[in-house]
Structure 1
Amino acid sequence: MKRIKTVCKLLVAFVLASIIVVVVLVYLWLRNAGYWVDPMKEQVCSKLAASYSDRPKGEIVFYGASNFRMWETMEDDMQPYTVQNHGIGGATDEELMQYADVLLYPFEPSIVFIQTGSNDNVAGLSADQIMKNKDKMYTEFHSKLPDATFVVMSGLPLPGRAEYWDSIREVNSYLEQYCRERDYMEFVDATDEMLQADGNFRKELFIYDGIHLNEEGHDVWTAVIKEKLTELDKK
């Protein structure tokens, strides 16, 4: 009798574990396919958009993932340029497309800095899938904002996600060529500044997780971004 009870408990545990696995896989598929909208993230986006509702259209918008969102001093660091920080924590390219109706298009920015990195890798996408998504995203953005200049930030060499660096570098090479072929796009490559001379990661530029930039890392980004803005001013 005890043996039967033990077997039953194991079967129940197996069934529950299988259900959890299936639910997680379905969620990941829906999210990667662009069908899943996170209600919490949707609420965060709405509040973020509302915080900039009184700002004039045509400003510079930074639109991307958590390395933008966590850059709390961005607006001060970018002076004398007036910018808006529309970063979304944990955003993938699919999510940037989903929330663009709230966080990007209504503001009619003159320049859009776009930053996404390893979140798509973490979601299980290959470099080829990521490149395909980026082409879809930039094509959609340009169709909605035909007068805007889009500045693409290179994916960062992240000490905390070192396993994705080869994929990120491949995507960076693709993006550099992609931007070069389009007169409404620019590319900012901060790779050299973010790596040591021997190619190793500069861990001192990141907080404890090795994923998000610290103040020193923001200083590096500020320099390369302002260099690009000065270049655009001359055009």
Structure 2
Amino acid sequence: MPLIGNRLPSSVLCASLLLAALLAGAAPALAERTPQVPQQVSQPNWEQDIQRFEAQDRARPPAPAGVVFVGSSSIRFWDSLARDFPDVAVLNRGFGGSEIRDSTWFADRIILPYRPRQVVLYAGDNDINSGRDTQQVADDFAAFVQRLRQDLPEVRIAYLAIKPSPSRISQLPRQQQANALIAASADRLGVDFIDVATPMLDAAGQPRPELFVADQLHMNAQGYALWREVVTPFLQP
């Protein structure tokens, strides 16, 4: 393009400025359409647990279309799970002191590969104990549901209410508020909200200590027997 007195012709200059303005205006829209790489929200120290599950799967692949129980230590320590539900093909994928977000993050590895017909989640009290507020816990629950239905749109999902425990009695009001928010969200999302919390309270509204082991946080056989009674009607045979 010939220069005029070391300057571009005015028509070319105007066209260049217009193009720059259009590109600048389009930048936000382009950025919005660009998929964002998800950031890991789960603790890396759960990786050993997940690898252990994967090794078990390689050694003995679980049958598809079963019921996956996933979540924190209340699931992990449910050693009688298969005996409690003998007519249901159940799979225990509870790990450590995990939070709801952990199960969402690892769903690709410990839930979705099994193509389950039903998923039962227990998590939430560790979330509150770590400082997440009740709305965040409810939002994390909704994100878990969204993640599963992205790949398994027909899967049935159940959420076990955050349990009250004597060792976390100071957190009971927040646990109950989170349960109320999750129950409302579950109703909107078509998820079963299983209230295992209310029968774990005594007449004064306090956690029943006889349902727990010595740490007064994790349940004993009596506690799991109570859960079995409450959960049974919600399981698909």
TM-score normalised over the length of structure 2: 0.78
Name 2:6's counterpart in structure 1.
none
Separation of aligned partners in 1, 2:135 and 2:90: 32
Separation of aligned partners in 1, 2:206 and 2:41: 38
Secondary structure, aligned partner of 1:86:
strand
Residue 216, structure 1, aligned to residue 222, structure 2 = yes
Separation of aligned partners in 1, 2:104 and 2:91: 18
What is the Cα deviation at residue 223 of structure 1?
0.5
1:52-131 equivalences in 2 (<5 Å):
52-53=57-58, 54-131=61-138
Secondary structure, aligned partner of 2:159:
strand
Secondary structure, aligned partner of 2:94:
coil
Name 2:51's counterpart in structure 1.
46
Q: Whose radius of gyration is greater, 1 or 2?
A: 2
Is the 1:42–1:99 contact (alpha carbons within 8 Å) kept by the matching residues of 2? no
Separation of aligned partners in 2, 1:35 and 1:93: 10
Residue 192, structure 1, aligned to residue 206, structure 2 = no
What is the Cα deviation at residue 202 of structure 1?
0.3
Which 5+ residue runs of structure 1 have no aligned equivalent? 1-32
Separation of aligned partners in 2, 1:75 and 1:52: 17
Counterpart of 1:46, as a letter, is Q
Residue 132, structure 1, aligned to residue 139, structure 2 = yes
Change (3 A) 1:200 1:37: closer
Number of paired residues?
A: 197
Separation of aligned partners in 1, 2:174 and 2:151: 29
Separation of aligned partners in 1, 2:67 and 2:86: 12
Name 1:144's counterpart in structure 2.
151
Separation of aligned partners in 2, 1:37 and 1:189: 28
- Where in structure 1 do 4 or more consecutive aligned residues deviate above 3 Å? 33-37
Which 5+ residue runs of structure 2 have no aligned equivalent? 1-38
Is the 2:42–2:101 contact (alpha carbons within 8 Å) kept by the matching residues of 1? no
Secondary structure, aligned partner of 2:216:
coil
The partner residue of 2:174 within 167, 176, 182 is 167
Q: CA RMSD in A?
A: 1.6
What percent identity do the matched residue pairs reach?
24
1:3-22 equivalences in 2 (<5 Å):
none
What is the Cα deviation at residue 157 of structure 1?
0.7
Instruction: Give per-residue Cα distances to partners, 1:137-168, cap 9 Å, x unaligned.
Output: 22122212212100011000111111211111
Is the 2:50–2:110 contact (alpha carbons within 8 Å) kept by the matching residues of 1? yes
Is the 1:46–1:102 contact (alpha carbons within 8 Å) kept by the matching residues of 2? no
Separation of aligned partners in 2, 1:73 and 1:223: 13
Is the 1:34–1:94 contact (alpha carbons within 8 Å) kept by the matching residues of 2? no
TM-score normalised over the length of structure 1: 0.79
Separation of aligned partners in 2, 1:35 and 1:224: 31
